[in-house]
A and B are shown apart, each in its own frame.
Chain A
Amino acid sequence: EAQVTQNPRYLITVTGKKLTVTCSQNMNHEYMSWYRQDPGLGLRQIYYSMNVEVTDKGDVPEGYKVSRKEKRNFPLILESPSPNQTSLYFCASSLGWGNQPQHFGDGTRLSIL
């Protein structure tokens, strides 16, 4: 089954404690992206990757890091989480970009206390 898998689905942690949200896709997609979803703001792109070892900032990259060492994985790293990073996070992948629809994971709800 084609899917994008995120882990964990839920996490409550404290300010400053490094955390990683994993994302894996089994569709051999080149393009992957991370979004955060906040009420009234829709989805805002954090980082994206066009292929292995090719990543770039989206609209709200501050406080986040990513890596793309393998085509299937695109982890999101919060080195020193803060309460304003409390949000619902989605990983997405697509065959290309532009005219290709994105496939989304089920989301990770992070609460930073």
Chain B
Amino acid sequence: AQSVTQLDSQVPVFEEAPVELRCNYSSSVSVYLFWYVQYPNQGLQLLLKYLSGSTLVESINGFEAEFNKSQTSFHLRKPSVHISDTAEYFCAVSVRKTSYDKVIFGPGTSLSVIP
């Protein structure tokens, strides 16, 4: 069965430091990959996605993620975090089923940026 693993449930990091949030998935078929961000008391918002083409994808607020097919990973990185980046981050994988594409979410990583 397909699954998504986010190894770190909580990541504290000082402001302006770099951060990496890890995501690994298990699937034997082609997938689409997403990172969503959830701010307190809000729904999830799309941060970035990988569908095809360049394996490095970027968001408008400085995050980037790299698709590594051999390691089945899609880690999220930011070179310098801000207080406003404090949120829950979810990795999601879309996998082809018989009649539709199923989206599987990881358990989430809580990023806390320390002033």
Contact = CB atoms under 8 A, between A and B. Distances in A.
A44 B45 CA distance: 16
B32 A42 contact: no
A50 B108 CA distance: 26
Interface residues of A, number: 22
A99 B41 contact: no
A20 B114 CA distance: 40
A99 B2 CA distance: 17
A23 B71 CA distance: 38
SS of B interface (majority): strand
A107 B107 contact: no
Contacts of B69: none
Contacts, number: 56
B93 to A, nearest CB: 11
Contact of A45 (B34, B46, B103): B103
B25 to A, nearest CB: 13
A43 B9 contact: no
Interface string A14-49: 000000000000000000010100001111110010
A41 B3 CA distance: 12
Interface in A98-113: 98-99, 101-102, 104-107
A97 B101 contact: yes
Contacts of B43: 4, 90, 92, 104-107
A104 B44 CA distance: 6
Given A42-B4, A97-B101, A102-B103, 10 more contacts: A41-B107, A42-B105, A42-B108, A43-B44, A43-B90, A97-B103, A98-B32, A98-B101, A104-B45, A107-B41
19 contacts: A4-B43, A35-B105, A41-B107, A42-B6, A42-B105, A42-B106, A43-B105, A45-B102, A45-B103, A97-B101, A98-B32, A98-B101, A99-B32, A99-B51, A99-B94, A99-B101, A101-B34, A102-B103, A107-B42
Interface of A: 4, 33, 35, 40-45, 48, 50, 90, 92, 97-99, 101-102, 104-107
